[in-house]
Structures are given as C-alpha cells and as structure tokens.
Amino acid sequence: MTASLVAVCLGLASAAAGPGERFREAGELARSGDYPKAMAVYQELASSGAESASLYWNWGQVASARGAVGEALWAFLRARELDPGDGAIGREIERVREIANLDPAEIAPEPLAAVARTSRRFHLDLVALSLLAGSLLLHAAGRLLPGPGRTVWSGWVALSLGAAVALAPLAGSLARGTGVVLRRGAPLGDAATPTSDALSTLREGEVVPILERSAGYLRIEDSSGARGWARSEDVRPLDGPPPDTRLSSGSVGAEN
C-alpha cells in the first residue's frame, strides 16, 4: 500500500510540474553533474509521450558525459528518427560511433530504414498523393475540355511520377525494426530464458535487427550474422520511447 501511494504521489507531482518544467529540471540536474537523475527524468518525459528530438539530444549528451556510450547512441538515433533532417544529430551519431569503435555498417544494419527516414524527411508520401491527385484532375480536365491532348499527357506524367515517388515510403515500411545494445558484453542467449547458454556477447552501441519479441527478451541478429535472444534491458528498440522503469517498479512494489 505504501509503495502504491508513493508511486501515485510521484505521478501527481510530475503531472503538476508539466513537461516544460520537468525538462528544465533535467537540464539543471545535468549541469550539476547528477547524470543518473537527469536521464531518469528524460526517460520519464519520453515515456509519458513528451517525445522530441531536443529531448533525445539532451539525453544523448548526458549519457555521453556519463560514459554510457550505448545509451547515448540510442538517444541520438532516436532523435534522428524524429528529425531526420537535422545535420547536428548526424554529427553526434558519428562522434559516438567513433568512440564506440564501431564500423558505419554496425549502426546501419537495415538499408530500408534509411529509405524510411528520407521519406519522412521530405514527406514523400504527401508528395506522391499530391501527384496522384493532380493526375486525376488532369485526366478529368482532358476529357472535359476540347483541344490537344496535352492535358491528358501531363496527367500520365504526373501519374508516373507519383507512382515512382510512392515506392520510397512503401519500401521504407518494409524495414525491420532495430535496437541498440546498451551494455558492453551483453550476452546473446540461445533461448528467451535467464538460464539460456550464451552463444556470444554483443558490442555496446551496435545496432541490431529485431526478429522477434518475447516477454523481457528480443530475438536479434548481430553484425556477425549470429542470431539469439538478448534481454530487453540490454537492447533498446528504436521504434519508440522506453518504458518508464520508475513507474514499473512502483507497480511491482504495489503488487507486493
């Protein structure tokens, strides 16, 4: 009961403070050198839905200062997912990649993911829809208006361009999910159990395709081609914010 009450009070206090104030609080914690608490606040904000490239940028800087290279790389990569066109984020990714001594291919195992980011950056889905809509209008105008068939010809050109542009968002949607290894020497097991045999160990900061998900485990493929199961606290997916461990621990305490 006491743990449940504490969790509720913490949640109410966070809600009353508001995302902006909590974000500033995290910045003050980082400037004072309290990196673990700053990262906990950033995680709380992201898990509550207050995601932004700026939040992940600051999270990455704090993680980097703390020496958590894997978490820093995850944060910068997550920031790039939200703002693919920010060149400063790309430079930070390269900086941390070099610190982790990883090859470029080890943080980009899924080529279609780059296609998806390009599509989001230039809003190619909207461009394709606009071209296809324009094609329909031009074909309709060509049938209704007398004269040369230039209007209909322009409609076919717009249709062809729209179909070509639409290929990028379609291809990007086929990209496999990926995650970042947060801990140096994280084991790659042969089963999704705590007692599984370790097939190998993972490199901190390496980005790995996620093949399957199970309770508390992810089935992944490392850069050598080995496949196995990693604990979810060792590999963090890039498709969304991490769970709020503070709230999770509060829930567990309430049940106990």
Write out the chain in H/E/C secondary structure: CHHHHHHHHHHHHHHHHCHHHHHHHHHHHHHCCCHHHHHHHHHHHHHCCCCCHHHHHHHHHHHHHHCCHHHHHHHHHHHHHHCCCCHHHHHHHHHHHHHCCCCHHHHCCCHHHHHHHHHHHCCHHHHHHHHHHHHHHHHHHHHHCCCCCHHHHHHHHHHHHHHHHHHHHHHHCCCCCEEEECCCCCEEECCCCCCCCEEEECCCCCEEEEEEEECCEEEEECCCCCEEEEECCCEEECCCCCCCHHHHHHHHHHHC
How is residue 89 written in tokens? 């984020």
Question: Which pLDDT does position 157 carry in this prediction?
Answer: 86
Give the per-residue pLDDT at 53.
Answer: 96
Task: Give residue 134's pLDDT.
Answer: 85
What pLDDT shows up at residue 231? 96
Output the tens digit of pLDDT for each of the chain's 256 residues: 444 444 444 444 444 568 999 999 999 999 999 999 999 999 999 999 999 999 999 999 999 999 999 999 999 999 999 999 999 999 999 999 999 999 999 999 999 998 999 898 899 999 999 988 888 888 788 777 765 567 778 878 888 998 999 999 899 889 999 999 999 999 999 999 999 999 999 999 999 999 999 989 999 999 899 999 999 999 999 999 987 655 444 433 333 3
Looking at residue 110, its pLDDT comes to 92
Amino acid 146: pLDDT: 65
Taking alpha carbons only, the member of 214, 216, 202, 209 closest to residue 237 is 209
Predicted pLDDT of residue 2: 46
Distance CA 20, CA 213 (A): 34
